[in-house]
Homo-oligomer: A and B are copies of this chain.
């Protein structure tokens, strides 16, 4: 057994660990104390909820407040935390607490999960991530809980709601215990702003937070910390997408959904819904009220998803940024791709292309299969698939009505979206075994 474990590649181990995390979540969510009295649910719905929570997607086949007891909500919060911060991060933490030495095998595991390209200092990084996230969640919980004192009868309920909302936002889980996402707060710009900040901190990428911390820590010292190409690239793309989404939604809904809204209402609707595609999944509006062009743009944004090494899914911001920069360089006839006074490794360009092509193929096949089993429109299916793969969790409302086959497909997409396309495709990897011989190269006519 030990031998077998040792033989697995990091990708295979990550997939196995997430798989076991899903099994444990299924067991926890099936406990009678997790449910409200009288609630019964099918196995496929328990599995769906478990995967949705572990992958911090937030698509829901059942109403969270109607299904879970207070204990159940705590269990759900624990699963979100576990899934959002990454099983490996928590694993490292437990290893540290138990005083065990972190071996190279375990370090490699963490590397694959958070997609880190350097092994050194990874354990410290993980500790930092955990501390940063917990601090952010506590501050968010306080800010929201205090504010909720005016909304809920008891302080316990106000702070439970505040803490759940904060964890759900920071881990970009998209679950809600109001039963209506953030629609009741559609005109509460304070709650929305706190949420957008929390969503962004969770989805911007942990290394960005670490580098930001180092940067400010080194402000007064001689040797100033520098930002990596990764941080510059992902941050630019992240806020670029947020801005693009806001403008696109404003423009496309100007004569439709926003026709009877004030400028600040329109702005906050557009800004919140754009931010949430990066990939919170909370919404201040029933998205099915939007027109098709808006829904297609949102689908595209959800498919792109969050930064790598964050709580989010999708093909990730850097993948899209590298491909767009490559396309521009290619069109200009350049051989190398330059940005921020750096050049990409050719290998990274190929990696991005592999991720993008596989993701598109996967989602296309998913839409086709769903259009066989489900009675919904192509638009609704595209939206649902993009949301599941991006682990975003927005929905045009079809999730609870999916057939068991449809639910299984969404479950698979959420799972792959969370473990990441790279881990998914390299499951069949057999490194080193194939490049021992070579054939002559030959050019081919293309395009």
Residues of A within 8 A of B (CB): 115-117, 205, 207, 228-230, 233-234, 252, 291-293, 296-297, 300, 308-309, 315-316, 318-319, 322-323, 326-327, 329-336, 338, 341-346, 348-358, 360, 364, 367-369, 371-372, 377-379, 382, 420-422, 425-435, 438-447
Query: A443's contact among B331, B345, B367, by CB below 8 Å, is which?
Result: B345
Query: A426's contact among B308, B333, B351, B367, by CB below 8 Å, is which?
Result: B333
| Contact indicator A331/B429 (Cβ below 8 Å) | yes
Smallest Cβ distance from A5 to chain B, in angstroms? 20
What B residues does A421 contact at CB under 8 A? 447
| Contact indicator A331/B428 (Cβ below 8 Å) | yes
Smallest Cβ distance from A445 to chain B, in angstroms? 4
| Contact indicator B430/A371 (Cβ below 8 Å) | no
What B residues does A296 contact at CB under 8 A? 364, 367-368, 371, 378
- Chain B, residue nearest A360 (CB): B360
A420–B445 Cα distance when bound, in Å, is: 12
| Contact indicator A446/B326 (Cβ below 8 Å) | no
| Contact indicator B445/A323 (Cβ below 8 Å) | no
What B residues does A297 contact at CB under 8 A? 368
What B residues does A323 contact at CB under 8 A? 357
What B residues does A341 contact at CB under 8 A? 439
Smallest Cβ distance from A423 to chain B, in angstroms? 8
Query: A447's contact among B252, B308, B377, B427, by CB below 8 Å, is which?
Result: B308
16 contacts between A and B (CB under 8 A): A115-B445, A116-B445, A207-B445, A234-B445, A291-B372, A296-B368, A300-B364, A316-B446, A331-B354, A333-B433, A338-B439, A343-B440, A350-B350, A350-B353, A355-B446, A360-B360
| Contact indicator B345/A445 (Cβ below 8 Å) | no
What B residues does A345 contact at CB under 8 A? 441-444
Smallest Cβ distance from A217 to chain B, in angstroms? 22
A297–B367 Cα distance when bound, in Å, is: 10
Given the known interface contacts A368-B296, A368-B297, A371-B293, the answer about A444 and B318 at a Cβ–Cβ threshold of 8 Å is yes
What B residues does A442 contact at CB under 8 A? 228-229, 342-345
What B residues does A334 contact at CB under 8 A? 434-435
Query: A354's contact among B326, B358, B369, B444, by CB below 8 Å, is which?
Result: B326
Query: A343's contact among B233, B327, B382, B438, by CB below 8 Å, is which?
Result: B438
What B residues does A427 contact at CB under 8 A? 331
Given the known interface contacts A354-B330, A430-B333, the answer about A293 and B372 at a Cβ–Cβ threshold of 8 Å is yes
What B residues does A327 contact at CB under 8 A? 354, 357-358, 425
| Contact indicator B333/A429 (Cβ below 8 Å) | yes
What B residues does A364 contact at CB under 8 A? 296, 300
A116–B447 Cα distance when bound, in Å, is: 11
- Chain B, residue nearest A420 (CB): B447
| Contact indicator B428/A371 (Cβ below 8 Å) | no
Query: A435's contact among B326, B335, B342, by CB below 8 Å, is which?
Result: B335
A53–B157 Cα distance when bound, in Å, is: 69
What B residues does A354 contact at CB under 8 A? 326-327, 330-331
| Contact indicator B117/A445 (Cβ below 8 Å) | yes
Q: Which of A228, A345, A439 has the most CB of B within 10 A?
A: A439
What B residues does A425 contact at CB under 8 A? 327, 330-331
A329–B435 Cα distance when bound, in Å, is: 10
What B residues does A336 contact at CB under 8 A? 435, 438
A184–B315 Cα distance when bound, in Å, is: 47
A440–B426 Cα distance when bound, in Å, is: 28
A371–B367 Cα distance when bound, in Å, is: 19
What B residues does A435 contact at CB under 8 A? 334-336
A430–B333 Cα distance when bound, in Å, is: 6
- Chain B, residue nearest A421 (CB): B447
What B residues does A349 contact at CB under 8 A? 350
What B residues does A308 contact at CB under 8 A? 445-447
| Contact indicator B332/A430 (Cβ below 8 Å) | yes
Given the known interface contacts A348-B446, A428-B331, A446-B322, the answer about A382 and B378 at a Cβ–Cβ threshold of 8 Å is yes
